[in-house]
């Protein structure tokens, strides 16, 4: 069956399609109904069926793969590595589950996990899944007030954390931020379970704080049976990054998520039992949930958990790990690859990457120069994919497990099975044609694996995601897109990143694509700054391959004129940035996302908001120094 027919089947006969995919996992009790869509837009999948994520990821493989690698941990930060077979992983998960149960954690209770990239974090997530507790992983980079708001929203019985993580060779303490967060939070957890790595001081609060190591010894031989859960019970909540005000917890089910991930491993990522999957993401983000902790194990693969950065100890570390563990499928982010572009190209070919079949990239739009550079450098297919925390697995990509579909530079691909994707006019809600810009939208019901609702707030779920387009009950991704005549979709940026210059709507991504194509530019971002005459003007911040160009006024002026002329030629004078500002680095979160709204706020003299996740706060001072003189002259 070709990809078009496969997708058509998934949309025209959802029940038949997903009934067949459901056989990819184990059901303790068969479901009685594939889909209950009696209360739009809420979808319930595999109603009445009982299953368990932990069982499907670990226990199910014990009869055939018990002594094969399941979890591989590499920390280039501490120089440590460990490997666990499926049998060993099950034992560690049961020990963690027994600890949780001894602390009163029961089915439906929430457990907040605030941890670095260490095996115990994976044990904790699977232990929650095993006993029916709901895990809520909070990215370790969040500061105390952000963590406190998530504690209040999740109301956990237990928090699991550690003394510290490490990034770029620098210790990142966790316990102090956790203590402050609990002090700030209205909700107080009954217990805090702590993994002591010996990296930082970790004062304990008597009666509340408990050490993991002695409890693990106490439950060394624990046998904790799986709790079979109805398909629509909650597996976890995950708070979307960048949320302002009250956190927005994406709530995921059990059965639909397991089926969706198992299907994606077969049709999209093409992973096989016995192979190794390497996602360089963080467990605090959705990619880490879906394609470190659960997806690869569901497919019988080993999953590689990495504590480190793409350039520490050097920019060849990712490929060294591919060689060492014979990685077959790798998942990373465009930002990581753009960082590597600034380093020695020889590092791409220094290691044996012959085991690697495919590199998948997601998290932000993949620009053509970066895609071409890494594909040619590795000599491997590079496949973009587009999705969200809310969907849990890709919306747009190519499914080579269905048909060997070519990629198209600049596009993540086509709608995946299960997603009825439309590009809709933001003002009228009508579907736009090829070459026309529209909001990337999904006609409900959302397929299995997508969010059920916003944790504790069904109204917010409906109003936020299904209430933005006129007279249509349709899920909005809040991203602009254009589809070509062959069905490939190109993402142009967030609808709220659109710049309105003198009545002309411009996607910042379009300008960024043009600037980053210039050989002197390593990466860039474009934001809209308020302007009294035009409403907004575009300001471009560029990171140059050779920083010395910015120090020579003549070369800098010539480069700026060349860049502006390039934008003029491709997009027209209306898209020309008002300023091009060279800076040594872009402000990013520790997961690699560019802080566009923060940059915009600084340009406009507004409060930039929560800066707790920024990788290098000094970059913000550089931006302020660059824009302040211009703002002063304009005001005068």
Strands lying side by side in the sheet with 327-332: 80-85, 69-75, 302-307, 276-279, 327-332, 358-361, 382-384
Q: Which residues pair with 521 in a beta bridge?
A: 544
Would you place residue 610 in the very low, low, confident or very high pLDDT band (cuts 50, 70, 90)? Answer: low
Maximum distance among all Cα pairs of the chain, rounded to whole angstroms: 76
Q: List the domains of the chain with CATH numbers.
A: 3-308+385-480 (3.40.50.12780), 502-635 (3.30.300.30)
**What is the rounded average pLDDT of the residues 605-628?**
75
Q: Which two tokens stand for residue 577?
A: 């940035």
Please tell me the distance from the alpha carbon of residue 292 to that of residue 285, in angstroms, as a whole number. Answer: 10
Tell me the CB-side half-sphere exposure of residue 272, using CA atoms within 13 A: 7
CB–CB of 547/598 below 8 Å? no
Question: Strand, coil or helix: what is 327?
Answer: strand
At residue 636, the pLDDT reads: 25
336 versus 55: which is more confidently predicted? Answer: 55
Percent of the residues in the chain that have a pLDDT greater than 70, as a whole number: 94
CB–CB of 507/492 below 8 Å? yes
123 versus 333: which is more confidently predicted? Answer: 123
Please tell me the distance from the alpha carbon of residue 319 to that of residue 245, in angstroms, as a whole number. Answer: 40
512 versus 272: which is more confidently predicted? Answer: 272
**What is the rounded average pLDDT of the residues 463-478?**
91
Q: pTM value?
A: 0.84
Helix (H) or strand (E) holding 261: helix 255-267
Please tell me the distance from the alpha carbon of residue 354 to that of residue 326, in angstroms, as a whole number. Answer: 8
At residue 243, the pLDDT reads: 33
Would you place residue 532 in the very low, low, confident or very high pLDDT band (cuts 50, 70, 90)? Answer: low
Question: Strand, coil or helix: what is 306?
Answer: strand
At residue 497, the pLDDT reads: 66
CB–CB of 312/76 below 8 Å? yes
At residue 612, the pLDDT reads: 67
- 216 to each of 95, 100, 195, 212, how far by Cα in Å? 6, 11, 10, 6
CB–CB of 25/258 below 8 Å? yes
The DSSP string of 27-80 is: -SB--SEEEEEEETTEEEEEET-EE-HHHHHTGGGHHHHTTSEEEEEEETTTTE
- 524 to each of 141, 183, 184, 520, 585, how far by Cα in Å? 23, 39, 37, 11, 9
Non-local (6+) Cβ contacts of 515 within 8 A are: 521, 524, 526, 540, 542, 563, 566, 567, 580
pLDDT per residue over 241-250, tens digit each? Answer: 533 346 789 9
Range list of β-strands (E), 410-515: 414-415, 420-424, 437-443, 453-454, 475-483, 489-494, 498-501, 504-507
At residue 344, the pLDDT reads: 87
CB–CB of 282/121 below 8 Å? no
Q: Is the peptide bond before 445 cis (omega within 30 degrees of 0)?
A: yes
């Amino acid at each position: 069956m070709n990809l078009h027919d496969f997708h058509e089947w998934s949309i025209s006969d959802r029940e038949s399609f997903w009934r067949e995919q459901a056989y990819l996992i184990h059901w303790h009790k068969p479901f009685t109904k594939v889909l209950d869509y009696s209360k739009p837009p809420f979808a319930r999948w595999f109603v009445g069926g009982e299953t368990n994520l932990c069982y499907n990821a670990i226990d199910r493989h014990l009869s055939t793969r018990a002594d094969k690698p399941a979890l591989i941990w590499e920390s280039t930060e501490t120089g440590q590595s460990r490997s666990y077979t499926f049998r060993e992983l099950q034992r560690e998960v049961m020990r963690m589950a027994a600890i949780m149960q001894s602390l009163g954690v029961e089915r439906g209770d929430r457990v907040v996990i605030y941890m670095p990239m260490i095996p115990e974090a994976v044990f904790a997530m699977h232990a929650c899944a095993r006993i029916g507790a709901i895990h809520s992983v909070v990215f370790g980079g969040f500061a105390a007030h952000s963590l406190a708001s998530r504690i209040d929203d999740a109301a956990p019985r237990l928090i699991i954390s550690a003394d510290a993580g490490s990034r770029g060779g620098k210790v990142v303490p966790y316990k102090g931020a956790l203590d402050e967060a609990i002090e700030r939070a209205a909700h107080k957890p009954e217990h805090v379970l702590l993994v002591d790595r010996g990296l930082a001081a970790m004062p304990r609060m008597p009666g509340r704080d408990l050490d993991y190591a002695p409890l693990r010894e106490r439950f060394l031989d624990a046998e904790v049976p799986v709790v079979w859960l109805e398909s629509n019970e909650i597996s976890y909540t995950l708070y979307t990054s960048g949320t302002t005000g009250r956190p927005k917890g994406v709530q995921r089910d059990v059965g639909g998520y397991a089926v969706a991930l198992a299907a994606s491993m077969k049709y999209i990522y093409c992973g096989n039992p016995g192979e190794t999957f390497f996602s360089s993401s963080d467990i605090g983000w959705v990619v880490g949930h879906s394609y470190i902790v659960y997806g690869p194990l569901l497919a019988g693969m080993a999953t590689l958990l990495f504590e480190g950065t793409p350039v520490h100890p050097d920019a060849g570390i990712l490929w060294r790990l591919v060689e060492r563990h014979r990685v077959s499928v790798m998942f990373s982010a465009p930002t990581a690859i753009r960082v590597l572009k600034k380093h020695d190209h020889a590092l791409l070919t220094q290691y044996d990457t012959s085991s690697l079949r495919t590199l998948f990239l997601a998290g932000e739009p993949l620009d053509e120069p970066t895609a071409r550079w890494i594909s040619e450098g590795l000599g491997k297919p590079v496949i973009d994919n587009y999705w969200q925390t809310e969907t849990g697995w890709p919306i747009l990509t190519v499914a080579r497990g269905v048909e060997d579909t070519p990629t198209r530079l600049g596009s993540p691909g086509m709608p995946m099975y299960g997603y009825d994707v439309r590009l809709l006019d933001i003002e009228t809600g009508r579907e736009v044609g090829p070459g026309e810009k529209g909001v990337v939208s999904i006609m409900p019901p959302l397929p299995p694996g997508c969010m059920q609702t916003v944790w504790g707030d069904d109204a917010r779920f409906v109003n936020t995601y299904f209430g933005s387009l006129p007279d249509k009950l349709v899920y909005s991704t809040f991203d602009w897109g254009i589809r070509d005549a062959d069905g490939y979709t190109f993402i142009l940026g967030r609808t709220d990143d659109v710049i309105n210059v003198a009545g002309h709507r411009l996607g910042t991504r379009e300008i960024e694509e043009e600037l980053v194509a210039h050989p002197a530019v390593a990466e860039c971002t474009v934001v809209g700054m308020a302007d009294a005459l035009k409403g907004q003007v575009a300001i471009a911040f560029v990171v140059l391959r050779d920083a010395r160009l910015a120090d020579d006024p003549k070369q800098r002026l010539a480069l700026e004129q060349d860049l502006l002329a390039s934008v003029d030629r491709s997009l027209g004078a209306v898209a020309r940035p008002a300023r091009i500002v060279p800076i040594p680095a872009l402000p990013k979160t520790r997961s690699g996302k560019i802080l566009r709204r923060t940059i915009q706020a600084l340009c406009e003299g507004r409060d930039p908001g929560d800066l707790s996740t920024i990788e290098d706060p000094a970059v913000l001072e550089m931006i302020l120094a660059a824009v302040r003189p211009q703002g002063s002259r304009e005001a005068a």
